[in-house]
Structure 1
Amino acid sequence: MPEIKQLNENLKRQAALYKELKDYAQIKQQALLRNDLHEIEATTIREEQLLLEASRLEKERLLWAERVAQHIGKAPENITLRELAERFPELSDVKKELENVLMNLKEVNELNNQLLKQAMKVIDLTLSIMTAQPSGSTYNRPGEKERESKTVHFLDRSI
């Protein structure tokens, strides 16, 4: 059946693309650890390009899946890759590959998310330290009232 062959090719291209996304996510992870903003930005731009291609491939996959679903007499939204791989053994290799690549990509992205959250906490802490209000003077002569002092801030939070 030509639709299965086309679907298989589409899924192979998607698996390769997701592997490339995983590789870029690992590069971004190392850049996050080094705090290399230039590398993070360059990697993010490439990831966005790959995600656009993934979206295009996904639309194509949906068309092939719809044709296959018509052929086997099922609604396209009710058909799964697992079911197709059972029915068409030539899809089983790409199914395993996709599952593996997507699981690895998810793990790397979750770690990157944690690294970004930690970086944001450090930034928030640094900003709060730099913009903290002093709690009054440290020394007053006996009998003198505490003078109001103008507070000096390193950063103005209103910016």
Structure 2
Amino acid sequence: MYAKKLIKLLEKHVKLHKGLLELAKKKTEALKKGDMEALSEMMKEEQTYIAAINQVERERIRVVEAMVGKEDERTLTACMERVDEPERSALERLRDNLAAVVAELKNVNELNQQLLQQSLQFVNMTLDMIMPQPKEVNYRKPNMAPSSYEGSRSLFDSKA
């Protein structure tokens, strides 16, 4: 009885993670195009996936605790040891599918992170080229180190 519930929950996990993976791939394309509106919408949709995954995970923990008890090791491997063959092979297959999807999702998210960092570096470089370099405002001795505020960039340029 618990094995069938666990199988259904793992199937939901795989399905939700595949949806999250497809969304991450769409985010990659939006990042390449610089489409911030689409990216914002995708981030909202991503939050609904994450909430659903968290709910399924809480249910999975309850089922695993019911199968193996709270004192024993609460892993999928421990659950597979307690079930018979048709369910065991289904659990192994789902475990492998989930691991593969999560690994691919991790790779796509790392790519997205690199794209975001490159975009941020480009923006900073552009700002450095556009913004005037700070001039020496205060007198200081030639061998004194510059103060901490001199290297900072400000978008507010005023003259007193």
Deviation at 1:130, TM superposition (A): 1.8
**What TM-score, normalized to structure 2?**
0.76
Query: Hey, what does 1:102 align to over in structure 2?
Result: 102
Query: How many residues align structurally?
Result: 136
Other-structure match for 1:93: 93
Shift of 1:79: 2.7
Contact kept? 1:15, 1:98, Cα under 8 Å: yes
RMSD of Structure 2 on Structure 1 (CA): 2.3
- Identical-residue share of aligned pairs (%): 29
What pairs with 1:9-158 in structure 2 (closer than 5 Å)?
9-70=8-69, 75=71, 78-88=73-83, 89=88, 90-133=90-133, 156-158=154-156
If the length of structure 1 is used for normalisation, what is the TM-score? 0.77
Q: What is the deviation of 1:104? A: 0.9
Deviation at 1:80, TM superposition (A): 2.0
Structure 1 unmatched runs, 5+: 137-154
Quote the offset at 1:86 in angstroms: 4.8
Higher relative contact order (CA 8 A, sep 6+): 2
Extract structure 1 runs of 4+ deviating beyond 2 A: 82-88, 155-159
Find the structure with the greater CA-based Rg: 1
Instruction: State how far apart, in whole Å, the 2-side matches of 1:13 and 1:20 are.
Output: 11
Conserved in 1, the CA contact under 8 Å of 2:65 and 2:74? Answer: no
The answer to whether the 8 Å contact 1:31/1:37 transfers is: yes
